[in-house]
Amino acid sequence: AADISAVWEMLYNGVRHEKAAMSGHAMPELSRRGLSIAAISAVDIALWDILGKSLGVPVWKLLGGRKADRLPAYASGGWESAEKIGGQLQSYLASGGFKAVKMRVGAMDGAPYVSAARVRAARKALGPSVDIMVDAHGTYTVADAKRFIQLVRDCDLAWFEEPVIADDKAGMAEVRAAGNVPIATGESEATRFAFRDLAVLRSADIFQPDPAFCGGITEAMRIGAIASAFNLRLAPHLWAGAPCFFSGLHICAASPASFVVEYSVGANPMIHDLVEETVAVKDGMLEIPDKPGLGFTINERVLENHAQRL
């Protein structure tokens, strides 16, 4: 109880607190504004689903209609070493015909040159025609993020995601100005006000609100409007379970700023096992649900298996 400062940092950084403590800089967990915004998000998502089902229409129709019945998806994973990353990413391409993949970099590798070596190995294995995104989860300092950009300047990256802590929007703008790689961020941000600041400070090229953290479908659509007004793009973060993922499909279908959908290829039972429906990627494209509401049915057997008896 006497380790007050250490406890504060542990609560703020969440599952990354040990790495953050040893590295000497913050690496906050998702939704660092607290559970209140996440709780609002859950209620908002549920209300949109209820409204759509009560009217017998999909949520995208309530949001103003959809711009396409299928949207491009990218395979989100990529944790392997330099020796194995090429094979791992190639397996993603084969599984759903993906034309784009995302891999992890940053504190998981230690020094920027280790991440850079993995990225170069990925590019060599995939060739020039596949888009490669990298995600540092906000774990670099500004200096190390700039070093990393220089080390991979010839790899033609589609975007560099969360290069630095989300609290340092000016630092993120500095990273963006230091290279020619588009900067994507937003999974750790809550509400449209944070994204307004990203736009005004010219900190990002691509907004990535997570519907389960940013304030739900309502707030994600407002964030998409900010992106459109600043001529930025929208690619929501969609790892927080099936309700979040399906919400993202409807948001992307309705938002003029969207251009690609994140598809988790890691072990993520909260997406892939929690619902009865199979969301499959074919030729790198995802179908937008036509069923009323968000278009998914909870797998009650999964809930039973994980229910806590009181």
Distance set, CA 215 to CA 47, 145, 192 (Å)? 13, 29, 8
Task: Give the CA angle between residues 236, 237, 240 to the nearest 5°.
Answer: 130
Same domain for 245 and 137: yes
Domain co-membership, 15 together with 78: no
Task: State the pLDDT confidence band at 33, using cuts at 50, 70 and 90.
Answer: low
pLDDT at 10 over 90: no
On whether residue 84 sits in a domain, the answer given is yes
The per-residue pLDDT for range 259-279, each reduced to its tens digit, is 999 999 877 888 889 999 988
| 176 and 214 housed in the same domain | yes
Grouping H, G, I as helix, E, B as strand and the rest as coil, residue 98 is: coil
* Beta bridge pairs of residue 184: 161, 206
Q: Please compute the mean of the pLDDT values over residues 102-115 and round it to a whole number.
A: 96
44 within some domain: no
Percentage of residues of the chain with pLDDT beyond 70: 98
Does residue 170 carry a pLDDT above 80?
yes
82 in a domain, yes or no?
A: yes
Q: Confirm whether 51 is domain-assigned.
A: no
Give the pair of three-digit tokens for residue 47: 């209300």
* pLDDT confidence of residue 307: 83
Total domains in the chain come to: 2
Q: Which two tokens stand for residue 84?
A: 């194995």
Least confident of 8-12, 110-114, 154-158: 8-12
Residues 161 and 208: beta-carbon distance below 8 Å: yes
Q: What does the pLDDT read at residue 84?
A: 98
Q: Does residue 31 carry a pLDDT above 60?
A: no
Which letter does DSSP use for residue 240 in this model? S
User: What was the pLDDT predicted at 32?
Assistant: 56
Asked if residue 20 and residue 88 are part of one domain, the reply reads no
State whether 4 and 68 are in the same domain: no
2 and 136 share one domain: no
Examine residue 178 and state whether it is found in any structural domain, yes or no. Answer: yes
Output DSSP code: residue 308.
P
pLDDT computed for residue 266 by the predictor: 77
Total-model pTM: 0.91
- DSSP SS3 for 132: strand
8 and 120 in a single domain? The answer is: no
Residues 12, 101, single domain; the answer is no
Burial class (CB in 10 A: 0-12, 13-18, 19+), 143: middle
CATH number at residue 276: 3.20.20.120
Average pLDDT of span 35-56: 90
In this structure, are 138 and 283 located in the same domain?
Answer: yes
pLDDT tens digit sequence for 173-232:
999 999 999 999 999 998 899 999 999 999 999 999 999 999 899 999 999 999 999 999
Amino acid at 123: R
pLDDT at 167: 92
- Residue 148 structural domain: 58-306
Segment 147-152 mean pLDDT: 98
Same domain (yes/no): 102, 246: yes
Neighbours of 47 (CB within 10 A): 13
> In this structure, are 19 and 62 located in the same domain?
no
Question: Would 37 be classed as within a structural domain?
Answer: no
The answer as to whether 202 is a domain residue is: yes
- Up-side HSE of residue 139: CA atoms within 13 Å toward CB? 26
CA distance 190 to 212: 10
Q: Please report whether residue 38 resides in a domain.
A: no
Question: Do 22 and 167 belong to one domain?
Answer: no
